[in-house]
Amino acid sequence: MRMIRRLGLTGLLATGCYSGLGADGDGNPAGSGANDDDGGGSATGPDDGPEQGAAVPAGGMRRLSTDEYDNTLRDLLLDESGSGSALLPADPRTPFDNDLDQQIASQALIEGAYLLAGDAATRLLGDAARRDQVVGCIPDGAADANCFTQFIDRFGRRALRRPLTDAERTDFLALLDYATEAGDFYVAVDTAIRTFLQEPEFLYRVEVGEPVPAEPGLFRLKDHEVGTRMSYFLLGTTPPDWLLDRADAGELADADGVRGAAVELLKDPRAKARIARFHALWLGYEALPESIELSAAMREESDKLVERVVFEDEPYSELFLSSSTWIDDYLAEHYGLPLPGTSAWVDYGDSGRAGILSHGSFLSAFPKFGDTSPTQRGILIKTRLFCQEIPPPPPGVSADDKPPATEDAFCKEDVAAVHSQGECGGCHMQMDPIGFGLENYDQTGRYRTHETDNPETPQDESTCEIAGKGSVPGIGEFRGPAELAGLMFESGLVERCVVTQLYRFAMGRAQLDANDTEFIDVLQERAAAPGFHFSDLALEFVAQDGFRFRREETLP
């Protein structure tokens, strides 16, 4: 409970729910000292560059992912429709959903955004209570310029994540003519919302910054740009008003200011969903291919563990080493664990399970040929948890075709032994032994002693006893998730990989260059030593100079 005490999270976590505009209508945290000075959106901090030798990654304008779009609509318009996921093109997963290199403007995107903006405005105006909350004032007539100006200033700042310029205000205020013409104030509101939701600066997080003197290609981000970066990183949505206030006041210009704001952001209930999403994308359980009931139970199990480790501030290794899990009777029965009677933390005992590697969510990833695939599980762990590259199969090997069994070799380990000879062995010996150590757990996370029979094959695989013995090449042997997790942390590989994956997620970059890896190196050294806490890592991440600066991208 270290961070709860340190950050005062307890009250917020206990009260739970979040209202998009906040209890006071501005989303201000208690005692934030937020003010109404718009500050003009320009940086007010020192003009010096980053700390000598600080790693500054390249940054480009990133489009909101569909998830971020839906979150942003929820918080701007109190709109829970989640309609972006239905009408915008799907975001490619690499494995995260915000990879800058994959974001290409298209007719499908523009048409989707156009339709979504109109839908959102129409829905809002059809709900008087919600409309009044978002508009923030009650007009005294169709042409109430005062109310419309208040709305434009307040909503525009939230939508564009900075105060509007005078020229922009003029453009938006001119829309009041439509209200006059129609004799309906809300026609102008509707038109303004349609406009804001299609502004490139709404759909993209445009970062420009101020040039750093004598450092060509280096820019110090403005406070609003920093606030926006932080908010989408930690909340997956638009900055709350109090954060915009701090940006207006120039309080995000240095590491202390950014760190302090990040502490507040992590107290926001929306951070839980964001951090849960990071883990689901990273570990491959965002879309579980099980029944709806089983998928929901598995997802809750993993989300609860992530929440406990991150927000009750346990050492991050507990995510993998935890001796208990959050399950209800349905999932307990599925796993063959003691029934808790209600959703509760249940001790694994000496079952051989520990942490998230025992969850059905993780174990359901990438099965093949109707059963678990030791190779695929090995690839998952090597690439996602060790951040190691696995080359594609060499010519002459199809990963879609099941390796042929023989009368003498149809159990998986025997088949693998036959087909991992020669040139295949070099790679397979890096993957398969890891997967074989998890073979006692089927693709839904149930314990088993024998392989699952495939009725379409002539052999009876249920006669294949699973040895359950695995190894991480070069590191050690293990049986089951608990021992594998122990080995992982003994190896020291996981800490660096967590930092790398978090970096990819936070910065929207799947392919890393030298500046990226330098940033990761520094961050790992400062915040990801054995026993580290995720909150410390997140706070140190945003406090790095590289987070408040950007390097100009080089064209390919």
Partner 1 sequence: MKPFRLDRRTFLRGAAGIAVGLPMLEAMLPPARAGGDPIPKRFVTSWGGISLSGYSAGGLVVPSAAGPAYEITRGLKPLEELGVADKVTIVSHLLLPWEEDGVMPPGGRTIEFHYNTLGPQAAGTHTGPARDGAPKGPTADQIMGDELGGDPVFRALAYRVQPASYSGGNTIGGNNGRMSWRQDGDDLISVEPIVSPRVAFESLFTGFVPPDPAEAAAAALLLRRNKSVLDIVDRHGSGWLDRLGAADKMRMERHLDEIRALEDRLNQMQPELANCKMLPDPGDDWPIGEAFLGDGNSYSPDAGYSDEIGRNEILTDLITMAFVCDRTRAASIMLTEWKCYMNMFNFGGWESDMHELTHGKGPEESVADAVGFHVRQFGTLVAKLAARPEVDGKTMLDHCALVLFLEGGNGWNPESLVENSAHSTENMACFVAGGAGGLKQGEHIIATNRHPGEVVLTAMQAVGHQGGLGELTDPIDEMRA
| Interacting positions 203-222 with partner 1 (CB under 8 A) | 203-204, 206, 208
Number of residues located near partner 1, criterion CB under 8 A: 82
Q: How far is the CB of 535 from partner 1 (least distance, A)?
A: 25
* Site for partner 1 contains 396 (CB under 8 A): yes
* Site for partner 1 contains 330 (CB under 8 A): no
For residue 324, which of 307, 300, 346 has the smallest C-alpha distance? Answer: 346
Residues 6+ apart with CB under 8 A from 272: 303, 307, 311
**Interacting stretch for partner 1, rule CB under 8 A, among 128-136, 171-179, 257-265, 519-527?**
171-179
Nearest CB to partner 1, comparing residues 93 and 469 = 93
Nearest CB to partner 1, comparing residues 191 and 231 = 191
* Site for partner 1 contains 52 (CB under 8 A): no
Which 8-state DSSP code applies to residue 451? Answer: P
Describe the chain by its helix, strand, coil percentages, rounded to 5.
50, 5, 40
How many of the other CB atoms lie within 10 Å of CB of 386? 18
Q: How far is the CB of 93 from partner 1 (least distance, A)?
A: 4
| H or E stretch at 115 | helix 107-125
Applying CB under 8 A, among 11, 183, 200, 213 the residue interacting with partner 1 is 200
Sites for partner 1 among residues 444-483 (CB under 8 A): 444, 452, 456
**Interacting stretch for partner 1, rule CB under 8 A, among 11-19, 90-98, 141-149, 533-541?**
90-98
For residue 434, which of 388, 400, 402 has the smallest C-alpha distance? Answer: 388
d(CA 499, CA 471): 24
**Interacting stretch for partner 1, rule CB under 8 A, among 4-12, 261-269, 343-351, 438-446?**
438-446
Applying CB under 8 A, among 13, 82, 93, 418 the residue interacting with partner 1 is 93
How many of the other CB atoms lie within 10 Å of CB of 347? 13
* Site for partner 1 contains 397 (CB under 8 A): yes
Q: How far is the CB of 363 from partner 1 (least distance, A)?
A: 12
Reading the block at residue 323, the tokens are 């001796």
Nearest CB to partner 1, comparing residues 246 and 277 = 277
Sites for partner 1 among residues 349-378 (CB under 8 A): 364-370
The residue type of 89 is: P
Applying CB under 8 A, among 124, 175, 482, 487 the residue interacting with partner 1 is 175
Applying CB under 8 A, among 4, 13, 54, 87 the residue interacting with partner 1 is 87
Burial class, 100, CB count within 10 angstroms (exposed 0-12 / middle 13-18 / buried 19+):
middle
* Site for partner 1 contains 171 (CB under 8 A): yes
Sites for partner 1 among residues 150-169 (CB under 8 A): 168
For residue 64, which of 220, 203, 252, 225 has the smallest C-alpha distance? Answer: 203
Rg (CA), the chain: 26
328: left (phi over 0), alpha (psi -120 to 50) or beta: beta
Sites for partner 1 among residues 258-317 (CB under 8 A): 281, 284-292, 294-295
The residue type of 496 is: R
For residue 261, CA distances in Å to 161, 249, 256, 502, 504 come to 16, 13, 9, 19, 22
d(CA 273, CA 57): 26
Nearest CB to partner 1, comparing residues 482 and 502 = 502
**Interacting stretch for partner 1, rule CB under 8 A, among 146-154, 193-201, 489-497, 525-533?**
193-201
Taken in order 410, 414, 418, 420, is the CA torsion positive or negative? Answer: positive
Q: How far is the CB of 194 from partner 1 (least distance, A)?
A: 5
Nearest CB to partner 1, comparing residues 176 and 543 = 176
Q: What is the b/e burial string over 264-297, where b = at least 16 CB atoms within 10 angstroms of the residue's CB?
A: bbbbbebbbbbbbbbbbbbbbbbebebeeebbeb
Nearest CB to partner 1, comparing residues 189 and 305 = 189
d(CA 189, CA 205): 24
- Taking residues 478 to 517 in sequence order and writing x for each that binds partner 1 by CB under 8 A, - otherwise, the string is ----------------------------------------
* Site for partner 1 contains 180 (CB under 8 A): no
Nearest CB to partner 1, comparing residues 28 and 295 = 295
**What's the start-to-end Cα distance of the chain, in Å?**
47
Q: How far is the CB of 555 from partner 1 (least distance, A)?
A: 5
The residue type of 189 is: V
Q: How far is the CB of 253 from partner 1 (least distance, A)?
A: 20
Q: How far is the CB of 114 from partner 1 (least distance, A)?
A: 6
**Interacting stretch for partner 1, rule CB under 8 A, among 23-31, 105-113, 250-258, 484-492?**
105-113
